[in-house]
Amino acid sequence: MVGFDADDTLWRSEDFFEEAQDRYEDIVGRYIDLSDSTAREQLYGIETANLKVFGYGVKSMTLSMIEAAVLLTEGRIDGADVHRIVQIGKDMLVHPVELLDGVTEAVEEVARRFPVVLITKGDLIHQESKVRASGLSSTFSRIEIVSEKDPQTYTRVLRELEVEPGQFVMVGNSVRSDITPVLTLGGWGVHIPYHLTWQHEVQAEPPSDGDLPRMRTLASMRELPETLTALTDSSPA
């Protein structure tokens, strides 16, 4: 079975978060001098603390931007600007899905040979609408939208899918969320880095040396089908 991550694996996502952050800074920058401030670090600190309360995704980030704007401006931000921050979040939620190069062909080819599932975190309603807009929803036998991608979550999902970790390959752009937890369980990981990585995902425990033989790193989704062929040929299972 092959599991796919969604954001920055199938379609662009982090680019839009960075654009949103720039728009947020344009707004807050009218109140305080951002040139030598730690505004970005403060926003990231609030976002990280809020993950435990709000979870991942655009709505969580929007609330964090509002909270950070109020704190950084010491309460001076006016209602119209708070509304502009809300609009940044809404614009992200309705942004058209932009599939990455070669994704449709690669996923469809893999799906002809293996059961494929989608495992992603983020806002339920946002992820569901992106899956629908991607044109790939019928290709995946199951779509799992989870609140965290850790070994416990993968253990639960794999048990529900009735697949042994050694028979499971996870494909994704985040070592922290897509690769390391699956390798830890004895599964396989195909890392396809994206040109941008959210700070939170960079802070990762690297896979342990003993797990590295079950990891591959590709430059593009186009290399995935032949990589899976090589893996199934080399795996005794």
> Where do contacts with Mg ion occur on this chain (CB under 5 A)?
5, 7-9, 173-174
**Burial bucket for residue 19 (CB in 10 Å: 0-12, 13-18, 19+):** middle
Nearer to Mg ion, 8 or 81 (CB): 8
Provide the CB-side half-sphere exposure for 1 (13 A, CA). 21
Nearer to Mg ion, 7 or 211 (CB): 7
The nearest distance, CB 199 to Mg ion, in angstroms, is: 14
The nearest distance, CB 70 to Mg ion, in angstroms, is: 30
- Angstrom CA distances, 209 to 11, 163, 175, 204, stand at 30, 24, 14, 15
Q: What is the largest CA-CA distance in the chain?
A: 64
The nearest distance, CB 198 to Mg ion, in angstroms, is: 9
The nearest distance, CB 97 to Mg ion, in angstroms, is: 14
The nearest distance, CB 194 to Mg ion, in angstroms, is: 7
Indicate the SS3 state at residue 122. coil
Name the token pair of 47.
Answer: 């976002």
The nearest distance, CB 44 to Mg ion, in angstroms, is: 18
Nearer to Mg ion, 21 or 173 (CB): 173
Nearer to Mg ion, 149 or 214 (CB): 149
User: Who's near 10: CB < 8 A, 6+ residues apart?
Assistant: 4, 99, 100, 103, 107, 118, 134, 136
Please state the separation of Cα 212 from the chain's center in Å. 22
Nearer to Mg ion, 5 or 211 (CB): 5
Provide the CB-side half-sphere exposure for 39 (13 A, CA). 23
Nearer to Mg ion, 81 or 178 (CB): 178
Residue 134 one-letter amino acid: S
Cβ pair 158, 164 in contact under 8 A: yes
